Chain A
Amino acid sequence: MKFRCEREILAEALATAGRAATSRSGTLPVLSGVRLDVKDGDLTVTGTDLELTIRLSVHVHSDQNGSAVVPARLVADIVKALPAGAVEVSIADDEMSISAGRSQFSVRPLSLSDYPAQVEPGGEPVTLASAEVGNALRQVVRAASTDDARAVLTGVLIASEDDGLKMVATDSYRLAVRNLPQSSILATGQKVLVPGRALAELQRILSGDDELTVRLGTREAVFEVGATRLTTRLIEGEYPNYRNLLPSSHPNILTVGREALLEALRRVKILAQDSTPVRLTLGGDTLQLTAITQDVGNAAEEIDASYDGAEMTVAFNPDYLAAGIDAIDGDEITLATMDPMKPAVLRGVGHDEYLYLLMPVRVP
């Protein structure tokens, strides 16, 4: 195999595919490598940890077709460190040679035959607008659990409903639900659970490209953006019935400027240390935020708001609250509550397609 490519392009390709390569102990050693395939002027770089696979193609000047597996991190570091300009790569027998300008590196490739076979995706491809999906992922993935002991909650539920597609994530402390109307990638009633980690990677890959192609199978989901393909194994299991968590009525509704609330929260949470909550005092034309950390100090700030409902104080984990406000689109948000111990719902005014439900914290 022999090819020539611009350093920036090769470095970017190696870094992107390399994110799926793994050197965790207990996995096959060859998974610490990325697979390079050169065929008629196209270089395909593939990285996988058997759960997540990232594959992308770039154009190169190729003199000789071929395939090889090379150490992901080492080769990415080398290419990144080379002087700008063209990089020449050739792999023959048991040696990979990388050269640019007056720099010359030689690296031992890994065993090509040990590398897992790549399966071509099946299923019908469906095209979606990548900007809309990117924004939906930004809003939803943050609520997925990172606790592997509750594997089902580490996934994002993608369910087909009458009015389009629904994305749902929860870590049992908060719940994010996003509707994607007029989007259909599943048969009605069908649902899949996609690992949050894979969708976080997908967010990084979605970069304003116009179209995202999705194939959802029974075992894996395949996402293609431009020349990059991300494949992930699906999570099996029964997702909790999140609809039961959504309150049926919201007698108390606070409307407040998103930026003002976010700024005030950012300041006040400095004194919400050691997992202490931030209290929101609702009533009248102002919203008061307070944080008290025993033996350290306290903080309070008032911001303008409009409130319709009974006076009350409700407390939240400040990080979860900030993540919810940050995820919402629009200049104004509403916080709907029933009472200080029932889940509260955050929405953007005029943006009913997204809701962020948050469990309050009991305070004395």
Chain B
Amino acid sequence: MTTSIWEDVVGQQVAIERLKRAALAPVHAYLFVGPAGSTKWQAARAFAALLLAGTDDPSRRDVGLVLRGEHPDVKEIERVGPAISKDQADDIVRTASLAPSEGERKVMILDEFHLLRADAASRLLKTIEEPPDSTTFLILADFVPQDLITISSRCAQIDFRLVDEQHVADRLVIEGVDPETAAEAAAAAGGNLDRARLLATDPELAARRRAFFEVPQQLDGNGATVMRLVGELLGRIEAAAVPLAARHELEVVAMHERIARYGERGSGKKALDERQKRELRRHRTDELLAGLTVIAGGYRDALVNGSVRRPDAVAEAVVRIHDAIGAFERNPNEALLLQSLLWSLPVLVS
């Protein structure tokens, strides 16, 4: 039983306070900016419920419907391909222009707006700038890219921050994760609550982090060792996808039930398939980046402890690791990148 509409918005007290104040005299569009897993989506539903119902009482029918994503006057738009498409933009404009079904107001929640393409952005600008009086836009973005500065300038911006480690861990414990696993998952999740939930179900998390942590000690200047380590690390990354794949399997089962009940047309099978592929890809990249961050952390600790013989080489290693992290944006060959990186790193004596 939900006790507060803000229950699922974790570690965002400043944003929640701003939204509560905003609900007293709402404007036509809000831009929620913050990293993935910062519970922007949950905040958008809670804010939509507050706007439509004028109350934060979760026992009210319309509040419950909004929080479950089933209110006819709240339209949630998630991309079906790599970004919100032109056709989806047209759908947004059309829906925004229609009168609300039940109340006096309707809310449009647009997710992952930072991925919007220029052609869709141009179709949406006018509507977001001047929607009908009954429409409020809640636009969610991980960041504001250059192309969207015009649209973002028409919105009131609410900032969301990385959820701090303690909040993430506390939340996982509330959700039934044991405190030790929760702490470990929170530490590895980098402020992303969604990722922390996934890591909490991954029994290999601790072993994987240790494997990355021990890389500097295992290096011996030998190419064969680099090859072996990279093979081992990539094997662990491969295995890290198992919990996510299990979650995906549940989604596929649920979808097949829906298809059996409602038919394949409109079932969202293709969209689900594409989303799962994207999630797997993203999870893999996140894990690799998290692993590299652990290696960098090992070098940094050694530098701080003063236990290294050549501090300049160690400092340079940290820079190289960060360069490698940056290189992931360009979708590189992972094995080659890791081999090249590990080959360039100095040996740390434990």
| B3 CB to nearest A CB, Å | 25
Which of B165-173, B179-187, B221-229, B258-266 is the contact stretch?
Answer: B258-266
> How far is B80's CA from A108's CA once the two chains are assembled, in angstroms?
29
Q: Given the complex, which residues of B lie within 8 Å of A29, measured CB to CB?
A: 258, 261-262, 266-267
- Knowing A29-B258, A108-B261, say if A149 contacts B132 (CB, 8 Å): no
Interface: B315 (CB within 8 A): no
CB distance from A185 to the nearest CB of B (A): 17
Contact of A32 among B89, B266, B271 (CB under 8 A): B266
Q: Mark B99-112, 1 if CB is under 8 A from A, else 0.
A: 11100000000000
A20: Cβ under 8 A from any B Cβ:
no
Q: A51-B98, A110-B261, A236-B98 are in contact. Are A148 and B266 (CB under 8 A)?
A: no
When A32-B263, A236-B132 are in contact, do A148 and B100 touch as well, CB less than 8 Å?
no
Are A25 and B263 closer than 8 Å at their CB atoms? no
Asked if A25 and B99 sit within 8 Å, CB to CB, the answer is no
**A215 vs chain B, min Cβ distance (A):** 14
B155: CB under 8 A from chain A?
Answer: no
Given contacts A50-B101, A218-B99, are A148 and B262 in contact (CB under 8 A)?
Answer: no
Which residues of A have CB within 8 Å of B261? Answer: 29, 108, 110
CB-based nearest B residue for A24: B266
- In the complex, whether A138 has a CB less than 8 A from a CB of chain B is no
Closest to A23 in B: B266
Cβ of B123 under 8 Å from chain A: yes
Interface flags for A232-271 (1: CB within 8 Å of B; 0: not) read 0111110000000000000000000000000000000000
Contact B268 A30 (CB under 8 A): no
**Roughly how many angstroms separate A331 CA and B93 CA in the complex, as a whole number?**
41
Residues of chain B contacted by A22 (CB below 8 angstroms): 266
Contacts known (A24-B266, A25-B80, A25-B268); A50 close to B97, Cβ less than 8 A: no
A119 to chain B, nearest CB (A): 8
- Min Cβ gap B328→A in Å is 31
Is the CB of B133 closer than 8 A to any CB of chain A?
A: yes
Q: For B77, list chain A residues within 8 Å (CB).
A: 26
Q: Tell me which residues across on chain B come within 8 A of A50, comparing CB atoms.
A: 72, 101
**Hey, which chain B residues are within 8 Å of A159, CB to CB?**
none
Residues of B within 8 A of A33 (CB): 262
Q: Which residues of A contact B89 (CB under 8 A)?
A: 149
Residues of B within 8 A of A152 (CB): 97
Known: A148-B90, A148-B94. A234 touches B99 (CB 8 A): yes
CB-defined interface of A37-73 with B at 8 Å, one 1/0 digit per residue?
A: 0000000000000110000000000000000000101
Query: Are A71 and B263 in touch, CB under 8 angstroms?
Result: yes
Interface string of B138-180 (1 = CB under 8 A from A): 0000000000000000000000000000000000000000000
Q: Establish whether residues A149 and B123, one from each chain, have CB atoms under 8 Å apart when the complex forms.
A: yes
Q: How far is the CA of A24 from the CA of B263 in the complex (A)?
A: 12
B273 at the interface (CB under 8 A from A): no
Instruction: Chain B residues near A27: list those with CB within 8 A.
Output: 266
- Contact partner of A148 (CB less than 8 A), chosen from B72, B93, B132, B258, is B93
- The CA-CA distance from A110 to B99 in the complex, in Å, is 28
Please tell me if A92 contacts chain B, counting CB pairs below 8 Å. no
Question: Does A74 count as interface, using CB distance less than 8 angstroms?
Answer: yes
Contact A235 B72 (CB under 8 A): no
Within 8 A of A (CB), among B79-101: 80, 89-91, 93-94, 96-101
State which of B98, B263, B266 has its C-beta within 8 Å of the C-beta of A74: B263
How far is B259's CA from A74's CA once the two chains are assembled, in angstroms?
13
Q: Any chain A CB within 8 A of the CB of B301?
A: no
Contact B265–A26 (Cβ < 8 Å): no
Q: Identify which of residues 323-350 in chain A touch chain B, using a CB-to-CB cut-off of 8 Å.
A: none
Residue of B nearest to A220 (CB): B99
The reply to whether the CB of A160 lies closer than 8 angstroms to some CB of chain B is no
B90–A149 CB distance below 8 A? yes
Residues of B within 8 A of A116 (CB): 72, 101
Docked-complex contact B72 and A32, CB < 8 angstroms: no
Task: Point out the residues of chain A lying under 8 angstroms from B265, CB to CB.
Answer: 23, 32, 73
CA distance A236 to B95 in the complex (A): 10
Contacts of B267 in A (CB 8 A): 25, 29
List which A134-152 residues lie within 8 A (CB) of chain B. 147-152
**Docked pose: A116 CA to B71 CA in angstroms:** 10
Q: Any chain B CB within 8 A of the CB of A28? A: yes
Q: Does A351 contact B (CB under 8 A)?
A: no
Query: Does A170 make an interface contact (CB < 8 A)?
Result: no
B249 interface residue, CB < 8 Å from A? no
Q: Interface code A3-22, partner B: CB below 8 Å = 1, 0 otherwise?
A: 00000000000000000001
Q: Is residue A179 contacting chain B, with contact meaning CB distance below 8 A? A: no
Query: Is B70 part of the contact surface with A, judged by Cβ < 8 Å?
Result: yes
Query: Which residue of the partner chain B has the closest CB to A27?
Result: B266
B226-266 vs A: 1/0 string, CB under 8 Å?
A: 00000000000000000000000000000000101111011
A28 contact set on B, CB distance < 8 A: 70
Are A26's CB and B268's CB within 8 A? yes
Cβ distance A344 to chain B, nearest Cβ, rounded Å: 29
Note all chain B residues with C-beta closer than 8 A to A51: 98
User: In the docked arrangement, what's the CA distance between A199 and B80, Å?
Assistant: 30
Q: Is the CB of A235 within 8 A of B97?
A: yes
List, in ascending order, chain B residues with CB within 8 A of A108's CB: 260-261
Q: Mark B259-298, 1 if CB is under 8 A from A, else 0.
A: 0111101111001000000000000000000000000000
Smallest CB separation, B76 vs chain A (Å): 9
- Cβ-closest chain A residue relative to B270: A25
Partner of B134, one of A74, A110, A148, A236: A236
Could you list 15 examples of A-B contacts with CB < 8 Å? A25-B80, A25-B267, A25-B268, A26-B77, A29-B258, A32-B263, A73-B265, A148-B93, A151-B94, A154-B94, A219-B99, A233-B101, A235-B97, A236-B99, A236-B133
Given A29-B261, A148-B90, A236-B135, 19 more A-B residue pairs with CB atoms under 8 Å apart are A24-B266, A25-B266, A26-B80, A29-B262, A30-B262, A50-B101, A73-B263, A149-B89, A149-B123, A151-B93, A151-B94, A151-B98, A152-B97, A219-B101, A220-B99, A233-B98, A233-B99, A236-B98, A236-B132
List 7 tightest A-B contacts by C-beta distance, closest first: A151-B97, A23-B266, A236-B132, A148-B90, A219-B99, A148-B94, A29-B262
Where the two chains meet, the residues of B that have a C-beta atom closer than 8 Å to any C-beta of A are: 70, 72, 77, 80, 89-91, 93-94, 96-101, 123, 127, 132-135, 258, 260-263, 265-268, 271
